[in-house]
Amino acid sequence: MSSVQQAVVPAPAAAAPRRTAKGWAYLRYGAGKVGGAVISLLAVLVTGFFLFRLIPGDPVKTMTGGRPVSAGQLAAYRREFGLDLPMWQQFTDYCGKALTGDLGTSYQFRAPVLDKIAEALPNTLLLTGTAFVLYTALGIVLGTRAAWRHDRLGDRLSTGLALTLYSVPSFWLGLLLIIVFSVGVGPIPGLFPTGGMESGGEEGFAYVLDVAHHLVLPVITLVAVEYGQTLLVTRSALLDEMASDYLTTARAKGLRDDLVRRRHAVPNALLPTVTLIFVNLGRTVAGVILVETVFSWPGLGGLFYQALSVPDLPLVQGLFFVFATAVIVMNTLADLVYPLLDPRVGR
């Protein structure tokens, strides 16, 4: 062992310039990715503006909800929300404000869009964060097991169940869970609340328990429909890895089976899963719309659904931007982290 280390010791002098060169290459690569992400974000901003101006119907009429309003009042509303200005001026105003963090005022709630989003964001993060941790862990653990004992009964059942749940519409699963566990079927009483995030009136530790109680069903729904993909990717990555010679070497030196798996095979097999994990995190924030709608969870997804039905243009636009940002930021992070984990790519 020591002779090997001594042999390596003279190397740093030679390796140092190579290392900085690699560092520069990574920086350039990273700058390119971040630049691309910024361009994507700007494109989303522009798309958001034009896409939602196409909505038929007069937002001012929707706002007044069919109440009889005088022409003067209508004009006042128009002025208040800047709808009387020509389109190009609305666009430049919108861009200028968006860049300073002002996303406009919600028609429906008469409150800044940013405030509404800031209010709902922690709730969404609580729901998606909990579900994300659980389904990633579940997917990796079950995927590893399925690959390690592939083509056995356990693998077939586990992969089949994952594929089935992956094909189930999340909102339908949510509704079924509500019927079975909240409303109650036959003799079984409702165990969990049908929706919302809190019962109200609780404080301290009781409040935490109450929120956790409300969290159970939405989290189960999200985990059930999302873990399949992680399982499948982990499984096929590990299967690819299992034919490698270094695993034979590891076995030949007498390592126990689960050491070969945990120390040698799984770390390499997890590389493709890492990308998926980041992409999933971004997508889950956007994909939570249905689950939040079904469970009346007061998060971004529920807010999006409410805003769409009006339609509350500034709020829809702002949420569209937030959802797209979540996906773009996570994809960029995946691009940035991956070359650090796997030196074979991205340089």
What does the binding site for other proteins look like in residue numbers (CB under 8 A)? 36, 40, 43-44, 51-52, 54-56, 150-151, 160, 163-164, 166-169, 171-173, 175-176, 178-179, 183-185, 194, 232, 236, 239-240, 282-283, 286-287, 289-290, 293, 304-305, 308-309, 311, 316, 320, 323-324, 326-328, 331
Is 297 in contact with 127 (CB distance < 8 Å)? yes
Dihedral of alpha carbons 21, 24, 30, 32, sign? negative
In angstroms, give the least distance from the CB of 59 to other proteins. Answer: 13
Q: Shortest CA distance to 287 belongs to which of 164, 128, 163, 140?
A: 128
Residue whose CB is less far from other proteins, 117 or 173: 173
112 - beta bridge partners?
A: 105
What is the DSSP-derived secondary structure letter of residue 179? Answer: I
Residue keyed to tokens 């003799």: 187
In angstroms, give the least distance from the CB of 204 to other proteins. Answer: 31
The Cα 45–Cα 325 span in angstroms is: 10
What is the DSSP-derived secondary structure letter of residue 189? Answer: P
In angstroms, give the least distance from the CB of 23 to other proteins. Answer: 26
Is 291 in contact with 170 (CB distance < 8 Å)? yes
Residue whose CB is less far from other proteins, 15 or 34: 34
Residue whose CB is less far from other proteins, 138 or 322: 322
Residue whose CB is less far from other proteins, 85 or 168: 168
The Cα 332–Cα 340 span in angstroms is: 13
In angstroms, give the least distance from the CB of 133 to other proteins. Answer: 21
- CA 302, 305, 306 angle in degrees (round to 5)? 90
Residue whose CB is less far from other proteins, 298 or 301: 301
Is 174 in contact with 296 (CB distance < 8 Å)? no
In angstroms, give the least distance from the CB of 319 to other proteins. Answer: 8
Q: Shortest CA distance to 241 belongs to which of 215, 273, 207, 285?
A: 273
In angstroms, give the least distance from the CB of 180 to other proteins. Answer: 8
In angstroms, give the least distance from the CB of 56 to other proteins. Answer: 8
Residue whose CB is less far from other proteins, 54 or 71: 54
**Torsions phi, psi of 11, nearest 5?**
-60, -40
Residue whose CB is less far from other proteins, 15 or 46: 46
SS3 content of the chain, % helix, strand, coil (to 5): 75, 0, 20
Residue keyed to tokens 């007044």: 64
In angstroms, give the least distance from the CB of 103 to other proteins. Answer: 16
The Cα 232–Cα 140 span in angstroms is: 9
Residue whose CB is less far from other proteins, 202 or 240: 240
